Amino acid sequence: MEYSTEPTALRDRIRSAAKNQGLDAEKMASRYVAERWVDHFKDAFGPSPIALCGGLRYPQHLRPTSDADIKCVRRFTEQELTTGMELMKLYLRREGIEISTYTFRDVDIGLADPVRRIWIEATAGGIRANTQINMKSESGPNAFSKDWAEIEHAPLFPRGPTYTARVESDEAALAEKTDLRAKHLMDVIFLSCQPDIEIDHKKVADEMVRLQAHRGIQWDDITKRPGDALSWPSMKLRAEDWKRLSIERKCFIDLHDGFIQLGREFGKIKDRWKRHMLLAFRERDQ
């Protein structure tokens, strides 16, 4: 598809799309930068495969986001990242994006899947469009879900560019929500209340077993932790974040109703997971 990368035209399209969808123009511009970064990844960093595992998997009006979460099969050195980002600046400049600075930071150090975060300060069509790329490097027989698909993502705004990228399944994404932060709890609600998304709780349980093996998670951690985190006193501590995110994501469920719905969803998942584990124990003992 032909589209204009002239800064003024890009600025007008981003602002028009944000206004029509009732979204923040800067956040949409940030997502545009993240999407174009993903699309040019192989051009700048080489053929090593990546996959999307965050909000970019959904349209902006359903799951507003301003950054990209990706999974990599290898960890890039700082020199490789620097070389790649210098090339990325050239590719994105052709599309109306100017990257002024970027920095690297390691997060989740010491965990099974370390994350290298690239913080990018940029403009898209003259609109502030800062974003961050979270690159999670994983390895091992249970590091990746078998349930992936390569899809073409719709343009962020009319006559905008499309891009093709691998994405993980909704079930794999749901199984990842083990830290139970407010934004992740909202993800669970978001997935469960979408009419076009049907969650297979057995697949979620299968993905949890895979993650349990990959991360060395103990039985007690799964059987107790969600229950503690989803208690009403714990949920009440998230009230402000819940309210803010429900407005941002246009998923208007109050905290009490969300508490009930989350308990129902995790109950279904936990039941499937227990069945899965009991069957595995019986097969092992035979």
Of 135, 175, 169, which is closest to residue 150 (Cα–Cα)?
Answer: 169
On whether the CB atoms of residues 146 and 203 are closer than 8 A, the answer is no
pLDDT tens digits, 207-261: 877 877 777 766 665 555 555 556 778 778 878 888 887 777 777 788 888 888 7
Of 150, 180, 179, 177, which is closest to residue 165 (Cα–Cα)?
Answer: 150
Query: For residue 206, what are its two tokens?
Result: 């299968």
Of 244, 107, 96, 69, which is closest to residue 160 (Cα–Cα)?
Answer: 96
Mean pLDDT lowest among 39-43, 67-71, 198-202: 198-202
Residues 6+ apart with CB under 8 A from 7: 96, 125, 126
pLDDT tens digits, 117-148: 999 999 999 999 999 999 988 877 777 888 88
DSSP string, 53-74: -SGGGS-TTTS--SSEEEEESS
pLDDT tens digits, 140-161: 777 788 888 899 999 998 888 9
Mean pLDDT score of the chain: 82
Range picked from 103-107, 222-226, 256-260, 279-283 for highest mean pLDDT:
103-107
Of 134, 251, 132, which is closest to residue 185 (Cα–Cα)?
Answer: 251
Give the pLDDT of residue 44: 97
